[in-house]
């Protein structure tokens, strides 16, 4: 899942070798005393080390509670680009840590578990995507942020679900475009903009699994509820939604709208912030297909636990590293996204 390599880190003013077991696991599982107030210690270490904890909305609620900043992929990238912290701890998945490291090469970027990958990123290996790009010469290459640094390196512009539609619309109408890796998001943008982007055939394992039938059953049980859907969902789910948008857009809508009940078709971690922001409202997670579970979770995001975060900060490992030649290429489309987002007021 992750590259194992020999590395060192500084702790308590002397050099330790990274434990072989940590390398094998991809995270640190050192025991923590039962007497330790883990949350308080995390906050103390953040202050001591000038560390910033950033968490995606899809992480466990206990991680969001201790984070300095919570956001979707666009907000996390924007925050990383402007922070004066010496250490960034990315409580999310691996590509998010890579994006932070590309934007802040001089900073230490940590992730509590190197196994926290992304099904979308895995569906689009850089070598294969590069061949796909070469097979469609003359196209502007737009890659979704849910990709590896290597895939970003062969792209012209990076987008998130918060800004993808607006960035596509900002390009001349006759611009031939490759969009990858999420076919559902690509199809959704094609439908909104009238474009005919060439799509890579990838998908998110969470958003692919929502059941239209089960969502409609919930709607029958809660007729006043509005359906919120992420654009990574399949077309049939998007077609029945009252609001389609990025995680941040769905959160904003759920707070502002008059409805008191919402059926939420995205990763269930967002319900933490929704309930916190609108405690008087009811948020119902949309269920997946082929499961007795009442909600749909990202297994990778749930790998980020409080104990792993504590050990990660304590020992300043696992670190995220990006090869300089890859980072040099990948930063251009990321900067392009940030520049266009600022210009478009996003």
Residue 294 located in a structural domain: no
Whichever domain contains 130, its CATH number is 3.40.50.10800
Dmax over Cα atoms in the chain, in whole Å? 64
* Cβ-based neighbours of 76, under 8 Å, separated by 6 or more: 54, 56, 69, 90, 92, 96, 99, 100
Domain span holding position 198: 120-204+328-343
| 274 shares a domain with 336 | no
* Cβ-based neighbours of 242, under 8 Å, separated by 6 or more: 226, 227, 228
pLDDT of residue 18: 75
| 51 shares a domain with 197 | no
Q: Are 136 and 315 in contact (CB under 8 A)?
A: no
pLDDT of residue 326: 97
pLDDT of residue 289: 83
Q: What does the pLDDT look like over 74-122, one tens digit per residue?
A: 899 999 999 999 999 999 999 999 999 999 999 999 999 999 999 999 9
pLDDT of residue 19: 85
| 308 shares a domain with 256 | no
pLDDT of residue 8: 38
pLDDT of residue 17: 61
pLDDT of residue 82: 95
| 95 shares a domain with 43 | yes
Q: What does the pLDDT look like over 275-301, one tens digit per residue?
A: 999 999 999 999 988 665 656 889 999
pLDDT of residue 346: 86
According to DSSP, residue 142 is labeled: E
Query: How confident is residue 5, by pLDDT bands cut at 50, 70 and 90?
Result: very low
In 137-234, alpha helices (H) = 149-152, 164-170, 183-193, 212-221
pTM of model > 0.85: yes
Average pLDDT on 269-274 reads: 95
Residue 293 located in a structural domain: no
| 225 shares a domain with 132 | no
């Amino acid at each position: 899942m992750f590259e194992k390599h020999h590395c060192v880190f500084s702790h308590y003013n002397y050099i330790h070798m990274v434990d072989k077991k940590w390398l094998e696991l991809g995270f640190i599982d050192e025991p923590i005393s039962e007497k330790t107030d883990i949350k308080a210690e995390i906050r103390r270490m953040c202050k001591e080390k000038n560390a910033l904890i950033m968490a995606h909305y899809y992480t466990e609620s206990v991680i969001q509670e201790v984070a300095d900043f919570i956001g979707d992929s666009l907000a996390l990238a924007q925050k990383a680009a402007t922070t004066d912290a010496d250490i960034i701890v990315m409580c999310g998945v691996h590509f998010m840590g890579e994006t932070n490291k590309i934007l802040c090469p001089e900073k230490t970027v940590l992730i509590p578990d190197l196994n926290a990958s992304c099904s979308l990123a895995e569906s689009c290996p850089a070598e294969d995507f590069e061949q796909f790009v070469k097979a469609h010469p003359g196209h502007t290459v737009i890659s979704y942020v849910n990709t590896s640094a290597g895939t970003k390196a062969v792209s012209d512009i990076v987008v998130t679900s918060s800004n993808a539609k607006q960035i596509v619309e900002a390009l001349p109408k006759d611009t031939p475009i490759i969009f990858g890796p999420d076919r559902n998001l690509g199809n959704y943008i094609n439908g909104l903009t009238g474009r005919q982007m060439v799509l890579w055939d990838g998908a998110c394992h969470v958003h692919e699994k929502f059941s239209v039938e089960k969502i409609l059953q919930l709607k029958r049980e809660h007729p006043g509820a509005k359906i919120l859907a992420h654009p990574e969902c399949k077309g049939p789910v998007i077609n029945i939604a009252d609001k389609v948008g990025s995680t941040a857009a769905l959160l904003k809508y759920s707070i502002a709208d008059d409805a008191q009940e919402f059926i939420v078709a995205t990763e269930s971690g967002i319900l933490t912030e929704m309930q916190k922001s609108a405690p008087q409202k009811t948020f119902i997670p949309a269920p997946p297909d082929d499961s007795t579970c009442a909600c749909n979770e990202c297994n990778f995001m749930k790998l980020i636990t409080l104990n792993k975060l504590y050990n990660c900060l304590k020992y300043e490992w696992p670190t995220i590293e990006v090869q300089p030649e890859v980072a040099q290429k990948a930063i251009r489309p990321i900067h392009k996204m940030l520049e266009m987002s600022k210009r478009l007021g996003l």
